[in-house]
């Protein structure tokens, strides 16, 4: 059965009848809208219109059922004129303007007044032959309850634009009733869908309800069941009381522009017309009251910064700017003159909202969030997933490219709010999902050494925290830049700033505040270095340094996600107190890291290091001394993946003690590098012949030996 374009709109527990009015009363709608906008300033009367709207709905529904019964008894329904099986427009009958359409049968007869329409002027020979050879008859379009009519209307009929109402052929548009738009199941669903979009009204009015936890579930379920029963009953009523061609006559051309549903009602069509107008008036009034309030609330919370002007209200606490923009959008829709043209777009607003509400409910249920305690007990997460799936299915089945645009727009708005929105904790479901996923992943990771194939540097960057929140050691900042440019390793990064405090004060509030300030500064510097990770500040006293470093190495990380590579700066050499403390902390960090089997990366003199926006050309030189070349080569390779170092080539310098082994060492190392799938040039430096070693190589070797002696002394 092809449904007539009508609907009932749910408003909480109140349903309001909507009848699509024909084009010739659009001026009245505009005048009503202007009056409606003026009425909005008397908002205290809005709630008083709800009982009036409900009464109008009840009377209109009763009038429709009464009309179906009355016409089945009297068989005195409105007639239409048909030529064979062609539903004719009442205009071709040349009915006088003063004549009532109820007397259409007096003019549905062959004669000169009709023959001129079919056989003269622009009429083709085929049209004239159809008229002269066809049977012109007056048919009762509203026979009342009739099982035969219901059976005939059970079949679906979807027509292309320009086809005749009854037959699937190109219509004679000047004389017949024809389909103005191509119809399908999903198009009709899109037109009908707004009739059931009031299910969120209870939630939107939660602030005005005495007991929302009880009223919203019971009221929503009761309203849904009630209106669903009414919709099904009305569909059966129209399918059993109105013939199919007239049901598909959207603009009532066969009825001289009369409304189909109004023509069915009893005792007068004006019951449905007036009732529908008053009902839709109340519904529109409530929409234009609630929409600006919602917009003002979003702007007030600074969720979307560009909407901040709409946060202002008048001295009467009315969102005037929100009312203006809402009225403007409503006016654009009215000026289109046809809901069919924007039905799918309108539905997508509701469907996206309902889909994400369902997804949020399902996420909270699956995550088992402690704060997710729905009062409604007859609920399962699978229902929410099914609802979300249906919403997305209807969107893509109705218009897939509009659906893609809607999803892209929603994602853009979400990222914009995440980037520029208010820095507040909303308790969103995605954050809870991220936490649950992280917990699940950590539980799956075994707490043991990973396989060499899965090894990646999990960084622990240790910096000096004696600076203030306004200042930072340049060496520490460059250490963060180095770690940030190793992000190709996709590993964990934790930066810990050691904050020294007086021994007598310990965890005093002032020291904790200082630690928080330094932590924020470290996080800012990590962001500046484009190093994604976690920043922390560790308080210690001079007598606690050994225990603090040891406890840090033992407790940092969680499960199998623990740092395996430690980055730290080489201390400044000197005899003053600060330098001595720095050397002591460094030695403790280095010894504890080695005892903890961490890979230690000590950086010396890193006072100048490329920034994330720099682009370098040249070479990355690796000095392979003893057995530490593996980690150095990995660090160089990871640096080479970063855009700062992408233009640099890699060179490996190997120290050889005997000249006879040069070729053997070079060949073995080239083979090793090839197996590692790393592109690098290998150079052998012979330590026996001083002339073959440049000054830079000699200096680097001497520096390495000096570091070893220094560490042994410490």
Are 326 and 351 members of one domain?
A: no
Domain presence at residue 27: yes
In whole angstroms, give the CA distance from residue 22 to residue 257.
7
Q: At a CB cut-off of 8 Å and minimum separation 6, what does 339 contact?
A: 20, 191, 333, 346
Element (H, E) at 572: none
Are 49 and 195 members of one domain?
A: yes
Edge-to-edge, what's the strand order for the sheet holding 459-464?
534-540, 493-500, 459-464, 565-569, 599-603
Domain presence at residue 248: yes
pLDDT at 67: 92
- CA 418 vs. chain centroid, Å, equals 11
DSSP collapsed to 3 states, 295-311: HHHHHHCCCCHHHHHHH
Are 630 and 541 members of one domain?
A: no
Q: At a CB cut-off of 8 Å and minimum separation 6, what does 683 contact?
A: 651, 652, 653, 654
- The DSSP letter of residue 43 is G
Which one of 569, 603, 637 terminates a domain?
603
Are the C-beta atoms of residues 404 and 423 closer than 8 Å to each other?
Answer: no
Provide the CATH number for the domain around residue 509: 3.40.50.620
In whole angstroms, give the CA distance from residue 492 to residue 269.
73
pLDDT at 321: 85
pTM over 0.75: no
Domain presence at residue 169: no
Task: Look at residues 182, 240, 191 and name the one whose alpha carbon lies nearest to residue 6.
Answer: 191
Token readout for 200 is 């969120």
3-state helix, strand, coil in the chain (%, to 5): 55, 10, 30
For the stretch 360-410, pLDDT in tens is 888 888 877 777 788 777 888 899 999 999 999 988 888 888 889 888 988
In whole angstroms, give the CA distance from residue 691 to residue 653.
16
**β 599-603/565-569 pair status:** parallel
Which one of 301, 316, 337 terminates a domain?
337
Q: Which residues of 676-710 are buried (b: 16+ CB within 10 A; e: fewer)?
A: eeeebebebbbeeeeeebeeebeebbeeeeeeeee
pLDDT at 528: 87
Task: Look at residues 379, 385, 378 and name the one whose alpha carbon lies nearest to residue 363.
Answer: 385
Are 326 and 390 members of one domain?
A: no
Are 524 and 623 members of one domain?
A: no
In whole angstroms, give the CA distance from residue 526 to residue 534.
9
pLDDT at 68: 92
* Integer angstrom CA distances of residue 309 from 295, 412, 424: 10, 21, 20
In whole angstroms, give the CA distance from residue 40 to residue 291.
12
Are 224 and 321 members of one domain?
A: yes
pLDDT at 690: 54
Which one of 432, 464, 479 terminates a domain?
432
Domain presence at residue 154: no
Number of domains forming the structure of the chain = 4
Q: 601 in helix, strand or coil?
A: strand
Domain of 396?
342-432
Are 486 and 572 members of one domain?
A: yes
pLDDT at 2: 36
Are 555 and 648 members of one domain?
A: no
pLDDT at 42: 47
pLDDT at 5: 30
Token readout for 180 is 């103005």
Domain presence at residue 221: yes
- CA 624 vs. chain centroid, Å, equals 52
**β 14-19/6-11 pair status:** antiparallel
Domain presence at residue 102: no
Domain presence at residue 320: yes
* Integer angstrom CA distances of residue 689 from 658, 662, 684: 9, 12, 12
pLDDT at 430: 64
Omega before residue 570 within 30° of 0, cis: no
Domain presence at residue 226: yes
* Integer angstrom CA distances of residue 358 from 350, 426, 429, 433: 12, 18, 11, 15
Are 249 and 385 members of one domain?
A: no
Element (H, E) at 652: strand 647-656
**List of the chain residues with pLDDT < 50:** 1-25, 35-36, 39-42, 469, 714
* Strands of 448-588, DSSP E: 459-464, 493-500, 534-540, 565-569
Are the C-beta atoms of residues 666 and 695 closer than 8 Å to each other?
Answer: no
Are 303 and 199 members of one domain?
A: yes
Token readout for 228 is 């669903």
C-beta neighbour count of 607 within 10 angstroms: 9
Are 621 and 598 members of one domain?
A: no
φ, ψ (nearest 5 deg) of residue 378: -90, 65
Token readout for 312 is 């202002």
Are 28 and 51 members of one domain?
A: yes
In whole angstroms, give the CA distance from residue 11 to residue 50.
9
In whole angstroms, give the CA distance from residue 631 to residue 676.
12
pLDDT at 22: 37
pLDDT at 62: 93
DSSP string for 464-490? E--S-SS---HHHHHHHHHHHTTGGG-
In whole angstroms, give the CA distance from residue 628 to residue 142.
94
In whole angstroms, give the CA distance from residue 51 to residue 282.
10
pLDDT at 457: 86
- CA 324 vs. chain centroid, Å, equals 27
Task: Look at residues 547, 534, 525 and name the one whose alpha carbon lies nearest to residue 458.
Answer: 534
pLDDT at 24: 43
Task: Look at residues 246, 235, 240, 214 and name the one whose alpha carbon lies nearest to residue 90.
Answer: 246
pLDDT at 46: 62
Task: Look at residues 222, 392, 48, 95 and name the one whose alpha carbon lies nearest to residue 39.
Answer: 48
Q: How many residues does the chain have?
A: 714
In whole angstroms, give the CA distance from residue 32 to residue 280.
11
In whole angstroms, give the CA distance from residue 640 to residue 440.
33
Are the C-beta atoms of residues 113 and 91 closer than 8 Å to each other?
Answer: no
Task: Look at residues 623, 619, 629, 630 and name the one whose alpha carbon lies nearest to residue 699.
Answer: 623
Token readout for 315 is 């001295």
φ, ψ (nearest 5 deg) of residue 632: -65, -40
Task: Look at residues 539, 534, 503, 505 and name the one whose alpha carbon lies nearest to residue 520.
Answer: 534
């Amino acid at each position: 059965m092809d449904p007539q374009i009508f609907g009932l709109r749910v408003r909480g527990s109140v349903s309001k009848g909507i009848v699509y009015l024909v084009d010739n009363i659009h001026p009245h709608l505009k005048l009503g809208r202007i009056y409606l906008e003026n009425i909005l300033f008397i908002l205290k009367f809005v709630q008083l219109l709800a009982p009036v709207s409900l009464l109008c709905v009840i009377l209109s529904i009763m009038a429709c059922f009464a009309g179906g019964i009355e016409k089945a008894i009297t068989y005195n329904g409105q007639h239409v004129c048909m030529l064979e099986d062609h539903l004719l427009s009442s205009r071709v009958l040349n009915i006088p303007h003063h004549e009532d359409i109820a007397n259409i049968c007096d003019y549905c007869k062959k004669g000169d007044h009709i023959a001129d329409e079919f056989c003269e002027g622009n009429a083709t020979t085929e049209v004239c032959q159809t008229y002269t050879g066809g049977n012109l008859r007056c048919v009762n379009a509203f026979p009342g309850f009739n099982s035969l009519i219901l059976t005939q209307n059970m079949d679906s009929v979807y027509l292309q634009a320009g086809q005749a109402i009854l037959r699937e052929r190109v219509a004679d548009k000047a004389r017949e009733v024809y389909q103005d738009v191509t119809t399908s199941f999903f198009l009709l669903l899109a037109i009908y869908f707004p009739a059931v979009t009031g299910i969120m009204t209870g939630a939107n009015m939660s602030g005005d309800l005495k007991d929302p936890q009880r009223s919203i579930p019971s009221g929503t379920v009761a309203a849904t069941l009630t209106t669903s029963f009414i919709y099904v009953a009305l569909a059966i009523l129209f399918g059993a009381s109105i013939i199919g061609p007239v049901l598909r006559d959207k603009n009532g051309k066969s009825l001289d522009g009369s409304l189909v549903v109004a023509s069915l009602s009893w005792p007068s069509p004006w019951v449905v017309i007036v009732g529908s107008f008053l009902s839709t008036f109340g519904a529109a009034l409530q929409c234009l009251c609630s929409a600006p309030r919602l917009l003002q609330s979003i702007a007030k919370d600074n969720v979307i910064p560009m909407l901040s002007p709409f946060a202002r209200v008048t001295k009467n606490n009315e969102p005037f700017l929100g009312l203006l923009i809402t009225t403007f959008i409503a006016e654009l829709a009215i000026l289109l003159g046809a809901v069919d043209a924007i039905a799918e777009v309108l539905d997508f607003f509701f469907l996206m909202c309902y889909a994400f509400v369902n997804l949020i409910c399902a996420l909270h249920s699956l995550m088992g969030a402690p704060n997710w305690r729905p009062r409604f007990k007859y609920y399962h997460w699978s229902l929410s997933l099914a609802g979300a799936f249906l919403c997305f299915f209807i969107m893509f089945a109705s218009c897939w490219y509009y659906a893609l645009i809607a999803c892209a727009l929603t994602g853009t708005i979400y990222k914009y709010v995440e980037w520029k929105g208010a820095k507040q904790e909303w308790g969103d479901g995605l954050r809870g999902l991220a936490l649950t996923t992280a917990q699940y992943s950590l539980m799956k990771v075994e707490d043991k050494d990973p396989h060499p194939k899965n090894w990646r540097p999990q960084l622990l960057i240790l910096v000096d925290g004696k600076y203030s929140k306004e200042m930072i050691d340049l060496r520490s900042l460059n250490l963060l830049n180095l770690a940030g440019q190793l992000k190709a390793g996709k590993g964990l990064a934790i930066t810990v700033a050691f904050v020294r405090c007086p021994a007598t004060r310990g965890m005093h509030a002032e020291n904790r505040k200082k630690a928080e300030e330094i932590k924020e500064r470290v996080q800012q510097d990590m962001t500046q270095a484009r190093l994604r990770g976690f920043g922390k500040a560790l308080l210690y006293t001079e007598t606690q340094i050994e225990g603090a470093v040891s406890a840090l190495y033992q407790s940092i990380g969680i499960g199998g996600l623990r740092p395996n590579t430690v980055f730290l700066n080489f201390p400044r050499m000197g005899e003053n107190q600060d330098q001595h403390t720095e050397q002591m902390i460094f030695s403790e960090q280095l010894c504890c890291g080695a005892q903890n089997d961490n890979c230690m990366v000590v950086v010396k003199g890193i006072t100048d290091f490329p920034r994330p926006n720099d682009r370098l050309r040249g070479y990355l030189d690796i000095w392979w001394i003893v057995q530490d070349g593996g980690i150095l080569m990995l660090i160089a390779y990871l640096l080479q993946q970063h855009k700062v170092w992408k233009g640099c080539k890699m060179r490996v310098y190997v120290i050889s003690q005997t000249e006879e082994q040069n070729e053997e060492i070079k060949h073995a190392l080239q083979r090793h590098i090839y197996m590692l799938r790393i592109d690098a040039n290998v150079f052998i430096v012979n330590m026996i012949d001083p002339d073959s070693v440049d000054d830079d190589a000699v200096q680097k070797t001497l520096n390495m030996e000096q570091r070893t002696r220094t560490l042994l002394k410490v």
